[in-house]
């Protein structure tokens, strides 16, 4: 086989191997081990420091496109909050599917904690457009932005929202963000109102948010599926009662998703090595040919 | 609690000083430039290649695609993209090559249509402008990407310009363009997308190069002066950073405290 | 000329100054809260009207395509069908008319029509498009990560180490050495936290300054490309 045909390999061969590398670990889970990193542990420790008198605001700033990365981290952090009886206020600022994601995650996690009561322990405020404007206004009054919750109930009728009026009543904001909305929470809400912010983001955005983490604009960072798997590992290690949620057969979670991601990374690395080996063989062949002709 | 003063004391510090410094330097450089002082701006490969890309499309008899990004007109990257769009539209009008500008945002679509129409008029080819050149596709990120990548594969443009604010769709668009053999010039200030463009596209305008592009292309003294002013402010910021590091090493925190905004962490 | 150029420039100057000036003022100044908040709300309203403009353009261009039977015209039919069905459902669901009671589920847990459409069509299609990135990253990496020169080599090595360190493979690589399972993840964290962060900060600062300079030009009317006018 000519070296040139190897270096210009039909990209469909690459796609086929990636597809196989994704499918096989899903059908036959491998169970790679998970080691946690500092940004994830920091967010975990923050929620560990909270209790039944504290309030966490969770903003769903992602849509169905990044659900495979963001939903596992959202479910894990919500389970952590509920396990510690931390009060949770949920909202969505992402226009394309944010409220749908919020509803789905709550519908999945809330039934696992039957002693929690909607309105007293957690509230779904709904979706609001104009992310920055909404964030600024909530500093003045959450009811200015969300006069009613997602079901249409006035906020003054919800026991939790009688106590949570502005950011001053919130102990932590967690945003699951795919794009600039995550920046706004850090640059606007943390910088101007002093509320601690943690971000759960896609892997592609994680390099950007490391700068925010380093400068302490955010107190924790869950970067992509790896970050989500680390958080799941932490809550499963510390809360054995939550293990059944992660050991059900056929249910997707980040730890299972990491099997496929690991295999795909390995395939990509093999292709990179292969491409470079062929490249060097071509260079060596051309150098020898030019020496012979000289 | 009602505020005591008419100004916010937590914000009247470093932000105000930097705002005044920045505005003063930039306005001063604009004034000097208008007075005739030469302003050297280094060559930017991506900008130099624009005419080459349009020329290639003319030779091959294929289209030029211009994607102004995912942002709306309140995003400064979109404004910068419109400045570049004007230049590219002028080139396509001059060369008589087919031009297509699919838009994701409705406000950007309206602005792009005005820009291209005006560019064709200024180039003396208003007859070439049609409503089909600038089109609105859809607001949804991936529906837009699916539509545009489909058009790329079917119409096989010779040149793609991906200039503006991009998010996850950047690699999908750039890689599809690469498979069709188009010459690609990208430009964005989204740091997360720059690696994808840098790896896949032929030329990439990174960060501030995007904002400088429109000014650079116009060669207007005021525009060149503003780029120069911004460079001097950057030099001042670098000096702040070095001073800050040295002071922090010796345990002197006043510069750090001065630069901290309000009650942020 | 006044309506097309001068008035927009005057409006841009006035409206552009508002967020800058009100950033430094408190509510003690009369009108600050009103101006600060209303400008942002007006942006949202204007964007809504502009969306209408976009919908009209999509409808017009696709109807033209169907009328002239241009190549791919059946897809224009499906596009218009999707646009009007989903759009109508969304509006009816938001104002709660008839069976369209909300965007998610009803009080008794029944899935609303809009939510069913979102879950059955929109979400899977979105996820499918996003998942193409995995394939494109692989083909781009295979093509681009070659040791052609010093910079390309550094890029390749860094990418290799980060890919290895961000998965359990990095732990297994040196896991046979005591404490070795943390070497590659630790090195990856260092790459992300130090050189990557430094480079990102440099680009962010540069881009922010470029954006500020551009904003100043727009506010002062020097930059007029967004109006379709020459500078």
Using the CB atoms, write b or e for B36-67: b if 16+ within 10 Å. eeebeeeebebbebbeebbebbbeeebbbbbb
Q: How far is CA C57 from CA A27, A117, B131, B204, in A?
A: 45, 47, 9, 31
Is B33 part of a structural domain of the chain? no
Rounded Cα distance between A19 and C213, Å, is: 46
C92-141: pLDDT as tens digits: 888 888 878 777 767 676 788 888 888 888 888 888 888 888 899 999 99
The whole-angstrom distance between residue B128's C-alpha and the CA centroid of its chain comes to 26
Nearest chain A CA: its distance from B127 CA (Å)? 39
Is B128 part of a structural domain of the chain? yes
Hey, are the CB atoms on A191 and B261 less than 8 Å from each other?
yes
Which of C142, C185, C200 lies nearest to residue A271, judging by beta carbons? C142
Is B53 part of a structural domain of the chain? yes
Q: Are residues B248 and B134 in the same domain?
A: no
pLDDT at A152 over 90: no
Q: Are residues B213 and B228 in the same domain?
A: no
A191 interface with B at CB cutoff 8 Å: yes
Is C165 part of a structural domain of the chain? yes
> In the structure, what pLDDT confidence band is assigned to residue C230 with cuts at 50, 70 and 90?
low
C157-215: pLDDT as tens digits: 898 888 888 888 888 877 778 777 778 888 888 888 889 888 888 888 888 888 888 88
B74 interface with A at CB cutoff 8 Å: no
Strand ranges inside chain A, DSSP E: 55-61, 87-92, 122-127, 172-177, 197-201, 220-223
Q: Give residue B263's pLDDT.
A: 46
C169-182: pLDDT as tens digits: 888 877 778 777 77
Is C131 part of a structural domain of the chain? no
Is B124 part of a structural domain of the chain? yes
pLDDT at C51 over 90: no
Is B87 part of a structural domain of the chain? yes
Q: Are residues B167 and B51 in the same domain?
A: yes
Q: Give residue B264's pLDDT.
A: 39
In chain B, which residues have pLDDT < 50? Answer: 1, 263-265
The helix/strand count (H/E) of chain C reads as 9, 0
Hey, are the CB atoms on C167 and A258 less than 8 Å from each other?
yes
Mean of all residue pLDDT scores within chain C: 84
Q: Are residues B153 and B75 in the same domain?
A: yes
Domain range for C210: 145-231
Number of domain units in chain C: 1
CB interface of C with A, residues 164-183, below 8 Å: 164, 166-169, 171, 181-182
C24 interface with A at CB cutoff 8 Å: no
B175 interface with A at CB cutoff 8 Å: no
Q: Are residues B178 and B111 in the same domain?
A: yes
On chain A, the residues whose CB falls within 8 A of the CB of C43 are: 130, 133
Q: Give residue C229's pLDDT.
A: 67
Nearest chain B CA: its distance from C168 CA (Å)? 24
Nearest chain C CA: its distance from A249 CA (Å)? 22
| Closest chain B residue by Cα to residue C225 | B83
A93-107: pLDDT as tens digits: 988 788 889 999 999
What percentage of chain C exceeds 70 in pLDDT? Answer: 94
Mean pLDDT, rounded, for C140-167: 87
The CATH architecture one would assign to domain A38-252 is: 3-Layer(aba) Sandwich (3.40)
C105: DSSP letter: B
Number of domain units in chain B: 2
Q: Are residues B60 and B154 in the same domain?
A: yes
A255-292: pLDDT as tens digits: 989 999 999 999 999 999 999 999 999 989 989 998 88
Nearest chain C CA: its distance from B59 CA (Å)? 25
Is C202 part of a structural domain of the chain? yes
| Closest chain A residue by Cα to residue B168 | A204
Domain range for B229: 221-265
Question: Where are the domains positioned within chain A?
Answer: 3-28+258-293, 38-252
pLDDT at A44 over 90: yes
On chain B, the residues whose CB falls within 8 A of the CB of C214 are: 76, 79-80, 211, 214, 226
Is C8 part of a structural domain of the chain? no
Q: Are residues B208 and B226 in the same domain?
A: no
Hey, are the CB atoms on B179 and A66 less than 8 Å from each other?
no
Q: Give residue B177's pLDDT.
A: 95
Q: Give residue C231's pLDDT.
A: 56
A198-222: pLDDT as tens digits: 999 998 888 888 888 888 899 999 9
> In the structure, what pLDDT confidence band is assigned to residue A57 with cuts at 50, 70 and 90?
very high
CATH of the domain at B201: 3.40.50
Q: Give residue A271's pLDDT.
A: 92
Instruction: Answer yes or no: is the ipTM higher than 0.90.
Output: no
Is B89 part of a structural domain of the chain? yes
Q: Are residues B253 and B144 in the same domain?
A: no
Is C228 part of a structural domain of the chain? yes
Is B183 part of a structural domain of the chain? yes
Q: Give residue B1's pLDDT.
A: 45
């Amino acid at each position: 086989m000519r070296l040139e045909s190897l270096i210009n390999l039909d990209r469909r061969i690459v796609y086929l191997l990636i597809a196989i590398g994704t499918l096989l670990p899903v059908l036959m889970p491998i169970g790679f081990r998970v080691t946690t990193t500092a940004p994830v542990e920091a967010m975990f420790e923050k929620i560990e420091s909270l209790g039944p008198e504290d309030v966490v605001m969770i903003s769903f700033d992602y849509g169905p496109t990044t659900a495979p990365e963001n939903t596992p981290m959202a479910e894990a952090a919500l389970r952590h909050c509920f396990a510690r009886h931390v009060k949770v206020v949920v909202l969505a600022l992402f226009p394309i599917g944010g409220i749908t994601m919020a509803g789905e995650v709550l519908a999945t996690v809330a039934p696992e904690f039957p002693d929690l009561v909607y309105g007293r322990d957690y509230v779904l405020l709904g979706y609001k457009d104009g992310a920055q404007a909404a964030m600024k206004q909530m500093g003045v009054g959450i009811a200015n932005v969300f006069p009613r919750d997602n079901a249409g109930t006035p906020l003054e009728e919800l026991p939790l929202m009688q106590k949570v009026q502005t950011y001053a009543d919130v102990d932590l904001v967690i945003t699951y963000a795919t794009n600039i909305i995550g920046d706004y929470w850090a640059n606007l809400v943390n910088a101007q109102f002093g509320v601690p912010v943690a971000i759960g983001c896609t892997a592609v955005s994680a390099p950007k948010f490391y700068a925010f983490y380093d400068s302490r604009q955010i107190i924790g960072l869950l970067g992509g599926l790896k970050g989500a798997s680390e958080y799941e590992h932490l809550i499963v290690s510390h809360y054995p009662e939550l293990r059944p949620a992660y050991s059900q057969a056929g249910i997707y979670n980040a730890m299972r998703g990491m099997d496929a991601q690991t295999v795909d990374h390995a395939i990509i690395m093999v292709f990179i090595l292969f491409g470079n080996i062929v490249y060097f063989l071509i260079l060596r062949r051309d150098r020898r040919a030019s020496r012979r002709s000289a | 609690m009602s505020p005591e003063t008419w100004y916010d004391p937590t914000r009247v510090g470093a932000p105000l000083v930097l705002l005044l410094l920045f505005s003063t330097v930039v306005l001063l450089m604009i004034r000097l430039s208008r007075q005739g002082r030469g302003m050297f701006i280094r060559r930017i490969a991506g900008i130099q290649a624009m005419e080459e890309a349009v020329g290639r499309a003319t030779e091959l008899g294929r289209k030029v695609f211009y994607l102004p990004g995912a942002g709306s007109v309140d995003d400064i990257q979109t404004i910068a993209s419109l400045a570049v769009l004007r230049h590219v539209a002028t080139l396509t009008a001059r060369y008589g090559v087919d031009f297509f500008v699919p838009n994701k945002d409705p406000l950007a679509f309206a602005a792009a249509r005005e820009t291209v129409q005006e560019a064709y008029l200024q180039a003396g080819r208003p007859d070439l402008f049609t409503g089909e050149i600038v089109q609105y596709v859809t607001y949804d990120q991936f529906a837009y990407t699916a539509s545009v990548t489909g058009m790329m594969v079917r119409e096989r443009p010779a040149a793609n310009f991906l200039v503006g604010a991009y998010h996850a769709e950047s690699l999908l668009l750039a890689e599809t363009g690469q498979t069709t053999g188009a010459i690609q010039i990208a430009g964005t200030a989204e740091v997360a997308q720059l690696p994808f463009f840098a790896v896949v596209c032929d030329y990439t305008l990174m960060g501030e190069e995007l904002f400088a592009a429109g000014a650079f292309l116009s060669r207007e003294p005021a525009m060149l002066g503003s780029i120069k002013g911004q460079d001097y402010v950057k030099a001042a910021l670098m000096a702040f950073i070095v001073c800050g590091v040295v002071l922090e090493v010796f345990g002197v925190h006043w510069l750090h405290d001065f630069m901290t905004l309000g009650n942020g962490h | 000329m006044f309506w097309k150029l001068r008035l927009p420039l005057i409006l841009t100057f006035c409206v552009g100054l508002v967020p800058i000036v009100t950033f430094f003022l408190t509510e003690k100044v009369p009108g600050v809260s009103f101006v600060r908040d209303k400008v942002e709300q007006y942006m949202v309203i204007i964007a809504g009207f502009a969306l209408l403009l976009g919908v009209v353009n999509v409808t017009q261009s696709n109807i033209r395509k169907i009328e002239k039977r241009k190549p791919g015209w059946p897809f224009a039919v499906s596009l218009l069908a999707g646009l009007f069905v989903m759009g109508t459902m969304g509006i009816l669901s938001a104002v709660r008319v008839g069976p369209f009671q909300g965007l998610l589920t009803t009080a008794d847990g029944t899935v609303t029509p809009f939510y069913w459409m979102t879950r059955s069509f929109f979400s899977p299609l979105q996820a499918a498009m996003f998942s193409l990135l995995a394939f494109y990253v692989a083909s781009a990496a295979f093509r681009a990560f070659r040791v052609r020169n010093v910079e390309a080599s550094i890029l390749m090595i860094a990418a290799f180490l980060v890919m290895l360190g961000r998965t359990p493979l990095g732990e297994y690589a040196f896991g046979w050495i005591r404490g070795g399972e943390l070497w590659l993840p630790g090195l990856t964290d260092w790459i992300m936290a130090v050189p990557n962060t430094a480079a990102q900060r440099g680009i962010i600062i540069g881009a922010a300054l470029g954006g500020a300079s551009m904003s100043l030009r727009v506010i002062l009317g020097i930059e007029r490309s967004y109006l379709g006018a020459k500078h």
